[in-house]
Copies of this chain bind each other. A is one copy, B any other.
């Protein structure tokens, strides 16, 4: 267990020269394809409502054929978070893999246009750029079906150690944990970060993903993670009990845990410190895709700027509220403009 300052590693807290990065994220580089469907569609196609399911290329084609007209927006869980951090004014970089095809060009364009450093070269062979087929039902719930494609080839060699060492926090996406080379990449990134005196943050991403790799998750969380993001079902899956049990256990495993509870906001635990943060009000709930990703964005943007944990949670709530008020998992407004009042207070 690593114990960071509770107020986050501010510009002068780390003892490092300011090399210019707040957060570097590692994850599945995906383009989202979103369509609106009736509830019956989810059942008829045998989808796992509200979850993320990995699918192969044949299934991706079959599901896409069955879906209605779509909208394509660059996505990927950690990529959404990193874009959110940049939108708050944070200095951010991303590590992920796309191919030299049209959707790969779209992914790279969009993340760079958001001000994120993204230097991984295009894969020139192998499967095409990964896609997440997202079915949005009338209740604004999203059901995700991911064809990983090129993104699944991420391994330790793709992790630029200098980039990781240069960032105050490295942010790891749980979804990547389905792939052994990516698990290796995470261990490498975690060691590099800690050797450089940096912090490691992780989101559990999905309770089914946690259950698929329970031992590997527990080992990584206990040994390497300083700052953990999870929702209720994910943290319960990790510790096997109810939410109160998990809350007790996680505080001995990680320095800070930010646990999100949908419309009930979040609970932040750091040793004996507990903060209960309400959700930010939303005029119209349109599409919950990216809610957790953007909560992490707001939290990390505040955290790496040296704000207290309650402020981190409040910024997380603000960013999550923005992203669920429209289609797609990337912010549509400059989040720094929304943050002003919170950070000034």
Residues of A within 8 A of B (CB): 35-36, 64-65, 67-74, 83, 101-103, 106, 109-111, 113-114, 128-129, 328, 330, 332
Residues in B with CB closer than 8 Å to A74 are 69
Residues in B with CB closer than 8 Å to A109 are 64-65, 67, 69-70
Q: Which residue of B lies closest to A131 (CB)?
A: B102
Say whether, besides A102-B128, A103-B102, A128-B102, A71 and B68 are in contact (CB < 8 Å): no
Q: Which residue of B lies closest to A104 (CB)?
A: B102
- List 27 contacting pairs A-B, 8 Å CB cutoff, sorted by A: A35-B113, A64-B109, A65-B109, A68-B113, A69-B74, A69-B83, A69-B109, A69-B110, A69-B111, A69-B113, A69-B114, A69-B330, A70-B106, A70-B110, A70-B113, A71-B71, A71-B72, A71-B73, A71-B328, A72-B72, A72-B73, A72-B106, A101-B101, A101-B102, A102-B102, A102-B128, A102-B129
Residues in B with CB closer than 8 Å to A332 are 36
Residues in B with CB closer than 8 Å to A72 are 71-73, 106
Q: Which residue of B lies closest to A71 (CB)?
A: B73
B67 near A113 (CB under 8 angstroms)?
A: yes
Query: What is the bound-complex CA distance between A109 and B128, given in angstroms?
Result: 18
Query: What is the bound-complex CA distance between A71 and B114, given in angstroms?
Result: 13
Nearest 3 pairs between A and B by C-beta? Answer: A72-B72, A69-B110, A102-B102
Q: Which residue of B lies closest to A103 (CB)?
A: B102
16 new A-B contacts, CB < 8 A, other than A67-B113, A72-B106, are: A36-B332, A64-B109, A68-B114, A69-B74, A69-B113, A69-B330, A70-B106, A70-B110, A71-B71, A71-B328, A72-B72, A72-B73, A101-B101, A101-B102, A102-B103, A102-B129
